[in-house]
Amino acid sequence: MLVLTRKRGEQILIGDDIVITILESKGDSVRVGIEAPRGVVIHRLEVMQAVTDANLEASRAAASDGQALAGLLSGMPHRGSTEVPPAE
């Protein structure tokens, strides 16, 4: 990891076309501006991790919901069958 010290208004160049500008520093916070081509995706890491975690949780819930539905459907008679499922 490259660690740099910058003052307000100073910039960092990444490659040929990404510019990071230090806009403001207050206590433990630093505001930065990022100039990059439209095709460059920029995300805050904590937001991406939260989205990933939420997607994983949703996929687990969907899988368990699917298993529960399959269990319910397995007790139903097949189409055209005259069999009646036992009463509970």
pLDDT at 60: 76
Full pLDDT tens readout for the chain, 88 residues: 999 999 999 999 999 999 999 999 999 999 999 999 999 999 999 999 999 988 888 877 766 666 666 766 676 666 655 555 666 6
What span, in angstroms and rounded, lies between the C-alpha atoms of 20 and 38? 15
Token pair of 2 as six digits? 């490259």
What span, in angstroms and rounded, lies between the C-alpha atoms of 85 and 71? 14
